[in-house]
Structure 1
Amino acid sequence: MAHLTVRLHALRTSETISMEPSTGKAPGPKNLEIEGSQLTDRPVHYARAKEDAMYRSILSGEKPTVEDDFSATVKSAMESVVSSDENSILVEKFYLAYKFRSQFPWLIESGKLPEEDSGLTGAFRYALSSYVAAYEPKKHFENEISEGLSLPVDLLKESISRAIDDRVALAQFSNALARQSLYAKDAEVDSLVPHIRRALVRYCERRESGTTPDPW
């Protein structure tokens, strides 16, 4: 029987992956030498190789592999940001962007999709998975005036804990960092905080993304 061929545009590669129609599964991940010095010295190639391995594992029904130390570091960095008075206006804007997006039932922030972790957890997942490390924020919230919103810090931290359990979002965040030569094995809380801040700013700037049911 002919194979069903699927092209993954997200891989940014011309490679196609064949899937058996009887099983609907892709072949298992290739043995990619992505930790060697040849690729780690070239961040873009390293990140693309990691993306290739990640999407192959997803198509094979497996969850991407993310180091527990990296998960814990990202969690600590995110909690540091939402707990800091320095970032209070940014977190307030992030929460308001989440509340705005939660009005649309087709967005994960609405809590009305079948995903187990939607709502505010979905907002954090989206911020991590859509992050671009080379992104330069258009907005700076340091000098903006607070709207006096009482932030549910405990709920924010609880949602962060659940968002970190999403291995796909975490792997995508790790890949974005690798493109800027910050690798998961070297990540520390202090080095991640600026990236978490920019991820939240980017989420705020894209608050209206996908808010129309028919983008065409």
Structure 2
Amino acid sequence: MPGIEGEGAVNMGRLTSERLHAPKEEFKSNVKQALVSVIDDDANSATLQRFQRAFEERKQYPWLGESGESLEPKYENGLANAICRALATYLPAKLGEVERLIQEKKSTETTWSDPEWQQSLKSAAEPAVTDDLSMTLFDGILRRAEIDVKSHTALREHVVAAFEQYYDGRMDDI
């Protein structure tokens, strides 16, 4: 399997398993920068509007993290949980497919702006990137797909694609 040989990989005959390691602070910082950059870019307004719609639908169900009704203080921020879910469940497509999907979605939506929502989303970015499990999963997903994780610029399109997939999968677990 490409992308998981070497340090941290365990060979089990035909199967290979990757040991998960907490992502480095540099990765978390790059993800946060990518999130803020995506939120600030007007070109992503349609994606952010769909992400908001999906979040609003999902937060109505108390068993979902988006509701913010967890007994654990770590999971009280429903919006941060939505970001975590989007990133941790992201399935990367080939680069051209991601760009095509984003352009296709942009062409069907009008420009939208909700400064209060965007500020809430930016505020939720910090607790989202401090969630080690979500960041470990996102990091592992990107590395297995051989995606550059050292630059927030390279991560931007994958954050947008993760938000789009979150919208497409908004009825999962309901």
Compute the TM-score of the two structures, normalised by the length of structure 1: 0.66
Tell me the C-alpha RMSD between the 2 structures.
Answer: 2.6
Q: CA deviation at 1:99?
A: 0.5
Partner of 1:189: 152
1:209 aligns with 2:172: yes
Query: Which of 16, 33, 39 matches 1:82?
Result: 39
Structure with more relative contact order (C-alpha pairs < 8 Å, separation 6 or more)? 2
For the 8 Å contact 1:125–1:163, the answer to whether it is kept is yes
For the 8 Å contact 1:133–1:179, the answer to whether it is kept is no
In the alignment, residue 132 of structure 1 is paired with which amino acid?
A: L
Q: Distance in 1 between matches of 2:133 and 2:153?
A: 23
For the 8 Å contact 1:47–1:179, the answer to whether it is kept is no
Q: Structure 2: any 5+ residue segments left out of the alignment?
A: 11-16
Partner of 1:166: 131
In the alignment, residue 198 of structure 1 is paired with which amino acid?
A: A
Cα deviation 1:121-173 (Å, max 9, x = unaligned): 10000011101123756673211234856242211111011100001100100
Q: Which has the higher helix share?
A: 2
For the 8 Å contact 1:104–1:110, the answer to whether it is kept is yes
Query: Which of 67, 89, 113 matches 1:130?
Result: 89
Query: Which of 132-141 and 118-127 deviates more?
Result: 132-141
Go from structure 1 to structure 2 and tell me whether the alpha carbon gap of 1:170 and 1:47 turns closer, same or farther (over 3 Å shift).
farther
1:141 aligns with 2:139: no
Q: Distance in 1 between matches of 2:87 and 2:8?
A: 17
Which structure: larger Rg? Answer: 1
Compute the TM-score of the two structures, normalised by the length of structure 2: 0.81
Go from structure 1 to structure 2 and tell me whether the alpha carbon gap of 1:183 and 1:45 turns closer, same or farther (over 3 Å shift).
farther
Q: Secondary structure at the match of 1:133?
A: coil
1:49 aligns with 2:9: yes
In the alignment, residue 75 of structure 1 is paired with which amino acid?
A: K
For the 8 Å contact 1:98–1:120, the answer to whether it is kept is yes
Q: Distance in 1 between matches of 2:160 and 2:7?
A: 21
Q: CA deviation at 1:176?
A: 0.7
Deviating above 6 A after TM superposition, structure 1's stretches of 4 or more consecutive aligned residues are none
Q: Secondary structure at the match of 1:155?
A: helix
For the 8 Å contact 2:34–2:153, the answer to whether it is kept is yes
For the 8 Å contact 1:111–1:119, the answer to whether it is kept is yes
Q: Distance in 2 between matches of 1:48 and 1:144?
A: 43
1:120 aligns with 2:79: yes
Aligned length: 160
In the alignment, residue 53 of structure 1 is paired with which amino acid?
A: R
Q: Structure 1: any 5+ residue segments left out of the alignment?
A: 1-38, 55-63, 212-216
Identity %: 26
